[in-house]
Structure 1
Amino acid sequence: MIHFCLAHTAYHLHCWLPRSYRFRLQVTVFLFGTTALGLQLFVLLRPTSSRYCRQPLLTNLVGNIIFTFFTIGFTVLLTHMEPVPQALKKMFAVFGVGSFGEGACTVVLTVLATDCEKTTPELYYLSVLLSVSSLVSAVLFSGLALNWLASVACAPPDTKPMV
């Protein structure tokens, strides 16, 4: 869920910031994304990461790297297009569901891979970091979803809900 959270946050910050600060935000988000991607590639290419581990943490890391590429792409698209096309919004929603699934898999695999701490420490600790960040972003978005549902359910009939 962290991948969706980062792109979603960048999009909303982009909308709220004055035009003079938007380029700085785009550069900051791009640098943050490439740094996260660099860290993941570094762990992937470590010789200790290819050691045996009962859980497929290495395969999960490859999935996280793919989602990081999509995050960077969506962030660039969402912060450069005004207005955002409806098709891109739908693709981004599908990406959010996939990001949630990837985060859930990361959490489950990390919880089951406690013995991998000794054989593949870098991979295990990166998986723990990704799991915690996925849990935090899932809790954040659950709160936002409940807030949105409350605004839709409790809105007066003549006003539009806040999106």
Structure 2
Amino acid sequence: MKDTDVRPAHPILELDHASRWLGIDVVQLADGHATITMRLREEMLNGFGIAHGGMVFAFADSAFALACNPVGETDTITVASGVDINFLSSALPGELLTAVANRRASAGRSGLYDIAITAANDDGDTRLIAEFRGRSRTVPNRRSQPSGNAPNNQSEERNA
């Protein structure tokens, strides 16, 4: 998503300042699936001149959120209940990162998602740089509740 976009590809991106700062572009969205890209900029590097792990994590987390939350759903939101990431290779300045998120399973309010993050250089060479596995939980959307009628679910949301 670029700052010049008039309408984000997914409603959750409207207020997602982190994804906007990352420079995320949405390539594909479907139920339980998202593909996004991001160009690795200088301010996303660590002291070794490679992608900061937190930037790769945040990028994968955005793909996870897009895959978990169907367009049009307003009564509930799906959030992370836990994640794991394995870094396999370093991403370099200027490379195009792609995250492909897919739902592996869902049961009730819980889900399991795998996100593969690749890096491509200007020559088109692509390599897997990280694997992210996210566990999700669907909870009430407090923003969709009428004022004063939000459910008292604070402990559930903290643990979700």
Q: State the TM-score, normalized to the length of structure 2.
A: 0.31
Greater relative contact order (CA < 8 Å, ≥ 6 in sequence) = 1
> Which one has the largest radius of gyration?
1
User: Which structure: greater strand fraction?
Assistant: 2
User: Which structure: greater helix fraction?
Assistant: 1
Q: State the TM-score, normalized to the length of structure 1.
A: 0.30
